[in-house]
Amino acid sequence: MRILVIGCGRVGAELAFRISREGHEVTVVDRSIQAFDNLHSDYRGRTLQGDVLGERTLRNAGIEGVDGLAAVTNSDAVNAVVAHLARTIYGVSNVVVRSYAPSWLALHQAFGHQVVSSTHWGAQRIDQLLMYPFTRSVFSAGNGEVEVYEIFVPDGWRARALTDVLPAGDWRPISVTRTGKALLAGPDIVLEAGDVVHVAGTPASLALVRRAFEDASGGKS
């Protein structure tokens, strides 16, 4: 694949290196030549210094033939404009935008961009680790609006159905791992102590699950 990375800060440099290491053709563009110092010494892709909003720069970077573009500068306005140009002028269908300031996240989403907000997601993830240590997020979709959680079944949930221990809310059972073997989980599966349950849900539902877990654990989380 041919990938164009706009912005060579810490995120752009790491992204460009990872993609090039996977064997893809990568070009990274930045207005500052010093930004390329962020690149790993083993990076084997192209670098191009220039105005990331300039038509000549974008064409020289090969935007018309790329399979994907990542706009990851530290300016939300620049990222939004580059993404818009890539999609509407140059016909790049696979565009991903970095949301630098959380206040811009809704605007990027309103434009229909695929967007990743490291600040929003990172704060949410740290909050979960601090407040809900009995669960572990193993997969996050979008910017964390839906996640898959791993929950370790306490003794208090033994011989109870999953629907009895998980409160009603935005949850979907996925699997139960028992003695090393994973089973698809229906809502009526009967749990055993030591089971590991995977459920998909929203972060807002964690408070309900936490209370259920504390009740089963005697108030200890």
* Cβ–Cβ < 8 Å for 149, 138: yes
Q: What is the pLDDT of residue 129?
A: 64
In this model, does residue 219 exceed pLDDT 60? no
Structure tokens at 75: 């300016």
- From 108, 112, 87, select the one nearest 99 (Cα to Cα): 108
- From 119, 7, 17, select the one nearest 72 (Cα to Cα): 7
In this model, does residue 132 exceed pLDDT 80? no
CB-facing half-sphere around the CA of 192: CA atoms within 13 A: 8
Q: What is the mean pLDDT of residues 150-161?
A: 83
Beta bridge partners of 70: 5, 96
In this model, does residue 157 exceed pLDDT 80? yes
Query: Could you give the CA distance from residue 133 to residue 145 in angstroms, rounded to a whole number?
Result: 19
Residue with the two structure tokens 């210094």: 49
Main-chain phi, psi angles of 106, to 5 degrees? -65, -35
Chain centre distance of CA 186: 27
Q: What is the mean pLDDT of residues 189-201?
A: 86
Beta strands in the chain (DSSP E): 2-6, 25-30, 46-49, 68-71, 95-98, 114-116, 135-141, 146-152, 171-178, 181-184, 196-201
In this model, does residue 216 exceed pLDDT 80? no
In this model, does residue 167 exceed pLDDT 80? no
Q: Band the pLDDT of 71: cuts 50, 70, 90.
A: very high
Query: Could you give the CA distance from residue 94 to residue 85 in angstroms, rounded to a whole number?
Result: 12
Separation in Å, CA 2 to CA 9, 22, 103, 187: 20, 12, 31, 44
* Mean pLDDT of all residues belonging to the chain: 86
pLDDT tens sequence across 7-53: 999 999 999 999 999 999 999 999 999 999 999 999 999 999 999 99
Main-chain phi, psi angles of 144, to 5 degrees? 95, 10
Q: What is the pLDDT of residue 221?
A: 47
Query: Could you give the CA distance from residue 46 to residue 61 in angstroms, rounded to a whole number?
Result: 9
Q: What is the mean pLDDT of residues 214-221?
A: 60
In this model, does residue 178 exceed pLDDT 60? yes
pTM score, whole prediction = 0.66
pLDDT tens sequence across 72-108: 999 999 999 999 999 999 999 999 999 888 788 788 8
* Domains of the chain as residue ranges with CATH: 2-116 (3.40.50.720), 121-216 (3.30.70.1450)
Q: What is the pLDDT of residue 2?
A: 95
